[in-house]
Amino acid sequence: MLASNLSSVFLVTQAVLPDMAQRGRGRVINVASTAGLTGYAYVSAYVAAKHGVVGLTRSLALEYARRGVTVNAVCPGYTDTPLVADATANIVAKTGRSEQEARAALAKVNPMQRLVTPEEVADAILWLASEGASSINGQAVAVAGGEVFTG
């Protein structure tokens, strides 16, 4: 869990930051999770990894701010992806709920009562990569319909 969700982010960032700093411009946008902003039961390794991504993001943002590089994280809530499909299957297997009931339970944590779409996550990433976000640095942007507040 740590290798795929934290070490991979560290290694990729370590590889790209020197060139960005040398050019005096760059955007690093890590994908964390609302799990990196709060804790969730039964997924402690995942939560630890995503907290690590948020911490790495904030530290690197401070280190590279004067070099023209911004470093931010996008923190999706439950998003309609294969990962949520797997979680739904686990809920069905362990609780006997229907697939629809399991998906509804995941959507219920979002005040909008729905899963986030992959397109919404991509839109947040595109915005952070834009010139319009050039003063956004060191932030963990929750894309979760109000499930988690940052600040």
- The pLDDT tens digits of the residues spanning 26-46 come to 999 999 999 999 988 878 999
Is 25 among the domain residues?
yes
Is 47 among the domain residues?
yes
Is 92 among the domain residues?
no
Per-residue model confidence (pLDDT) at position 150: 80
Is 85 among the domain residues?
no
- 78 belongs to the catalytic site: no
Task: Tell me the residue range of the domain where 33 lies.
Answer: 2-77+116-143
Largest CA distance in the chain: 55
- Over residues 50-72, the pLDDT tens digits come to 999 999 999 999 999 999 999 99
* Residue 144 CB coordination number (10 Å): 24
Cβ contact 109:44 at 8 Å: no
Name the catalytic one among 40, 42, 46, 64. 46
Per-residue model confidence (pLDDT) at position 62: 98
DSSP reduced 3-state for 25: coil
Is 70 among the domain residues?
yes
Domain count, the chain: 1
Is 86 among the domain residues?
no
Is 97 among the domain residues?
no
Per-residue pLDDT of the chain in tens (151 residues, 90 and over written 9):
999 999 999 999 999 999 999 999 999 999 999 999 998 887 899 999 999 999 999 999 999 999 999 999 999 999 999 989 988 998 899 899 999 999 999 999 999 999 999 999 999 999 999 999 999 999 999 999 999 988 6
Strands, sheet with 69-76, edge to edge from the N-terminal-most edge strand = 26-31, 69-76, 140-143
Is 91 among the domain residues?
no
CATH number for the domain that contains residue 43: 3.40.50.720
Write the DSSP symbol of residue 80.
Answer: S
